[in-house]
Amino acid sequence: MKLLEPLRLAVIVGSVRQGRFGPTVANWFAAQAGNRDDVLVDLVDLADTPLPEALPAFGQPPGPEAARTLAKLTPRLEAADAFVVVTPEYNHSFPASLKTAIDWHFTQWQAKPVGFVSYGGMAGGLRAVEHLRAVFAELHAVTVRETVSFHGAWERFGPDGLPKDPDGCDAAAGVMLDQLLWWGHALREARARNPYTERKQAS
């Protein structure tokens, strides 16, 4: 069997709110992915990668100052073969910081798979994930079906930052990673054979 080159996986911490729980969840998931020989993990914390305040006019490139700001994040998204978005649920949806990071980019998401790890109260962040699926579909990304969700997340992790009952969430992470990596390898090979471009329906 041909050995596949490890997949470059960007794990994105979507919340930048003070006192956020996101890094705890993201660090756990990054460790799960990092235990695999077929993955190279890049943990991208949006709190450490500030974005320009205002998007440029539609269809226009960012100005010089915005481009300098984006230089900390954009190359990491460009280099990724796949993404996992770690998101809470704010008011039945996902954080504005995450939407801003998504909107500042386009080709970086195209023809790449996206998985989700969500956390929150009773809903476990799943309503945020459903909104994100529609957003990434518009950007020509492929979202995988399986997710990892933490309901009542603050009680699910111990002081060491690890899940108190790891069996279920570890298994869920493994299933989601298997799906993500299948799509990641398939789409990476497809992009290499035939670079992806947006194809619009003829009017």
In a domain, 59, yes or no: no
Average pLDDT of 26-37? 97
pLDDT tens profile 66-124 = 999 999 999 999 999 999 999 999 999 999 999 999 999 999 999 999 999 999 999 99
Q: Which of 149, 75, 71, 145 is nearest to 113 (CA)?
A: 145
The pair of structure tokens assigned to 80 is 């990724």
Amino acid at 169: C
Q: Which of 148, 135, 145 is nearest to 182 (CA)?
A: 145
Domain enclosing residue 176, as ranges: 7-15+22-50+71-192
Kindly tell me the burial class for residue 141, based on how many C-beta atoms sit within 10 Å of its own C-beta (0-12, 13-18, 19 or more): buried
Query: How many C-beta atoms surround the C-beta of residue 101 within 10 A?
Result: 22
- In the predicted model, is pLDDT for residue 62 greater than 70? yes
pLDDT tens profile 157-188 = 999 999 999 999 999 999 999 999 999 999 99
Q: What is the pLDDT of residue 178?
A: 97
In a domain, 63, yes or no: no
Q: Which residue has the tokens 């290499």?
A: 192
Q: How many domains does the chain have?
A: 1
In a domain, 61, yes or no: no
In a domain, 56, yes or no: no
In a domain, 136, yes or no: yes
Alpha helices (runs of H) in the chain, residue ranges in sequence order: 22-34, 64-70, 74-79, 96-103, 126-138, 153-156, 166-193
- In the predicted model, is pLDDT for residue 203 greater than 60? no
Looking from the CA of 101 toward its CB, the CA atoms found within 13 Å total 29
Q: What is the pLDDT of residue 129?
A: 98
In a domain, 134, yes or no: yes
CATH number of the CATH domain containing 139:
3.40.50.360
In a domain, 202, yes or no: no
The pair of structure tokens assigned to 59 is 């269809």
pTM as predicted = 0.93
Rounded-to-integer distance, Cα 93 and Cα 88, Å? 8
In a domain, 60, yes or no: no
Q: What is the pLDDT of residue 200?
A: 55
Q: What is the pLDDT of residue 55?
A: 86
